[in-house]
Structure 1
């Protein structure tokens, strides 16, 4: 059932987007209609507790990623499956009591997963609120292998509830809620491919961190000359792509090293982690664009998105910390120094 048919059946809907992304917001009053909210899923919801049903659904889909949050106020039995070739990972935001997910109890700190083609069997708690990501499984596997050097499918195995800690579950929950809040505020920024790329990689990194064991893997001994070579090659790659928003994943793929090895190499040689180094380069890229901007012709948010900054308040804080002024101050100064000539 699409958004228009849902609206006809008693739900209210708002959908926006284009070929690059889609956004769906739905308020529902029937469990069976709510089951149809998730695009490309095949589901059936049966209401088990007595009372009027009320549901809320929010979804953002871009690139390989489908991020969604759904809230229901009755005990629901959910059955069905996700789209073929997908992997879903989610964590509850709030629950009233315990649910039952694929034969296991599901609580607030349960990180659940479902592979495309596997059967969903979920009895929710009476009041249920969950945030989740469904993504192309191969894209997720490739990212984990090339960036983290981990066989993520082997690690997940046949788990339906991933072994994790309450801290890891809380971190994932907070991150995904931040992503949804940011996209809700500025969904149009998803039209920028750099924004979609950076956000997809950030989501993958967060999902993998939730799957990781709590204990840190002992640091491997890497010769100093090797660490220096890694940093030199990374800086050479950065110089040849100075006008592009390079990510840590780009460097890991190009250099064929793991994120951990890259981290140790930068820390030892430059006393700076690669995330901070790349953030500084991207902030400088934004500053250069702001300084070249014609008066009133550029939006700061668009420039930031083109450089891969998806969280605008964090971007503004990082920019001020780096340059001692807000991006709007830079734009105002530059436009004042290049006044528009009067035509008489």
Structure 2
């Protein structure tokens, strides 16, 4: 599989890739972000230093950009995209498309719109650019929201500091994973899980839309939804099912699914899916030939945070996944 990123002027790469670039010139810096066409002009005096880290996987480009001088940025992102940026640190005031912004605002731009960004003297921003059609379809399937209609021509989105921190922490985790464990993004299940996690966090930051699909009014209707969801899970037990998959299959919103599971099983669908996936890992460890490591199996089932996975596995089954594998291979316990 070719993991090399494609250059500007082509369609986004469907494969995972990670790149980091350090620059000493604003124009060089502008040319470093893949798939973007940009022009940077340095406005404040002094030596320019910049850094860009970016990761590509599937429909998603995640990047972190740091600059130490005031610059004016012009240009556009790749066709059919939607970008969301979160300031991590800034020194001084910046202007984005005619509006001032601070750390508690999210910046957005869709492909084809002209970027008009005068940065503060120092800027550290983390951002995601994704296929806007894919993201909008995800929002419609899971929450009954038309995000493009909600955003309209807005360029700045105010939100709570807590939600912004959750999203920025997730994006930084993705970059850290791509930098230190690039093989993880080679797993289709992991790319899908990370993309959906980012989309969920974005929806939380953007705010609550009107749920077009109201929760069913009777317990019988909710039980039918849960029964259909469980039946779908059973027939796809070896696949990394997500809540978005269930919403699409059942044609219900995330909120409807949540109410139904809580009412019928007293557990939310995310926890139920996690239990299903943990059981899938356990079956794979108990029935496999031992050639795959615990990490490989966990990644195949969409577990990104391996330390959390190990703790959840032990809480569920009373032993660590490594102990399950050792017993399968007939290896005696080290103790």
TM-score by length of 1: 0.88
Q: 1:303 to 1:221 in 2, by over 3 A?
A: closer
Q: Which residue of 1 aligns with 2:305?
A: 311
- Contact between 2:64 and 2:125, CA under 8 Å: does it hold in 1? yes
Contact 1:97 1:107 (C-alpha < 8 Å) held by counterparts = no
1:324 aligns with 2:318: yes
1:16-38 deviation per Cα after TM superposition (whole angstroms, max 9, x unaligned): xx962111111111111111121
1:189 is matched with 184
The match for 1:87 is: 82
Q: Could you tell me which residue of structure 2 aligns to residue 299 of structure 1?
A: 293
| SS, match of residue 140 in structure 1 | helix
Q: Distance in 2 between matches of 1:50 and 1:298?
A: 55
Report the Cα distance in structure 2 between the residues aligned to 1:251 and 1:313, rounded to whole angstroms: 27
**Count of equivalent residues:** 323
CA deviations on 1:34-92 (whole Å, 9 max, x unpaired) are 11121111001111111111111111111111111111111111110001110001101
Could you tell me how far apart the structure 1 residues matched to 2:220 and 2:143 are?
A: 22
Q: Counterpart of 2:330 in 1: which secondary structure?
A: helix
**1:47 maps to what in 2?**
42
| Consecutive unaligned residues in structure 1, runs of 5 or more | 6-17, 339-344
Aligned residue in 2 for 1:239 = 234
Name the counterpart of 1:287: 282
Partner residue, 1:10:
none
Identify the range of structure 1 (175-184 vs 70-79) with the bigger mean alpha-carbon deviation: 175-184
Any residues of structure 2 matched to 1:1-344 within 5 Å, and which?
20-213=15-208, 220=215, 222-295=217-290, 297-336=291-330
**1:93 to partner: Cα distance:** 1.1
Corresponding residue SS for 1:130: strand
SS at structure 2 position matched to 1:52: coil
Distance in 2 of aligned mates of 1:282 and 1:304: 9
Unaligned stretches of 5+ residues in structure 2? 8-12
Residues in 2 aligned to 1:134 and 1:197: alpha-carbon distance in whole angstroms: 16
How much does 1:134 deviate?
0.4
Shift of 1:146: 0.9
TM-score by length of 2: 0.90
Return the alpha-carbon distance in structure 2 between the equivalents of residues 54 and 318 of structure 1. 43
Aligned-residue Cα RMSD (Å) equals 2.4
| SS in structure 2 of the partner of residue 53 of structure 1 | coil
